Amino acid sequence: EVQLLESGGGLAQPGGSLRLSCATSGFTFNTYRLSWVRQAPGKGLEWISTISSDGATAYYADSVKARFTISRDNSKNTLSLLVDFLRAEDTAVYYCARAESRWFGAHYYYYLDVWGKGTTVTVSS
């Protein structure tokens, strides 16, 4: 069974930092892109970052670029997100998700087929 389990959330002060982790099992980790998606209280889903299967390429939403850093350890099947320079608006549940791919019409497309249960980040003084 494919499983993703986030950890590392908690209370942080504005300007502070946290490191979120996502432990995975049940699939060949180093063949999948992985993503972080967050959800502010009572709001919708917001994609924030994706990392390639080999860790060489990272993608970020403009809202977190230069503040958040995604990384992965393919030897430990673990995904991480360093969240830095935190702001009140970063308060959210942070989900890690696996990005499955399909080839169609001369291009790959991706969708998020398995999600973790999320870890909550609260930014407050």
Partner 1 sequence: EIMLTQSPATLSLSPGERATLSCRASQSVRASDLAWYQQKPGQSPRLLIYGASSRATGIPDRFRGSGSGTDFTLTISRLEPEDFAVYYCQLYGSSPLFTFGPGTTVDLK
Q: Which residues bind partner 1 (CB under 8 A)?
A: 35, 37, 44-47, 50, 59, 61-62, 95, 100, 102, 104-105, 107, 109-118
What's the min distance (Å) between Cβ of 16 and partner 1? 25
Q: Tell me the residue length of the chain.
A: 125
Decide: 58 and 36 in contact? Cβ < 8 Å: no
What's the min distance (Å) between Cβ of 110 and partner 1? 5
Q: Which of residues 28 and 105 has its CB atom nearest to partner 1 in the complex? A: 105
What's the min distance (Å) between Cβ of 57 and partner 1? 11
Q: CA 97, CA 121: separation in Å to the nearest integer?
A: 17
| 33-39 and 45-51 beta bridge pairing | antiparallel
**What amino acid occupies position 59?**
Y
What's the min distance (Å) between Cβ of 50 and partner 1? 5
Q: Which of residues 58 and 82 has its CB atom nearest to partner 1 in the complex? A: 58
| CB neighbour class for 99 (10 Å; exposed up to 12, middle 13-18, buried from 19) | middle
Q: Which of residues 56 and 125 has its CB atom nearest to partner 1 in the complex? A: 56
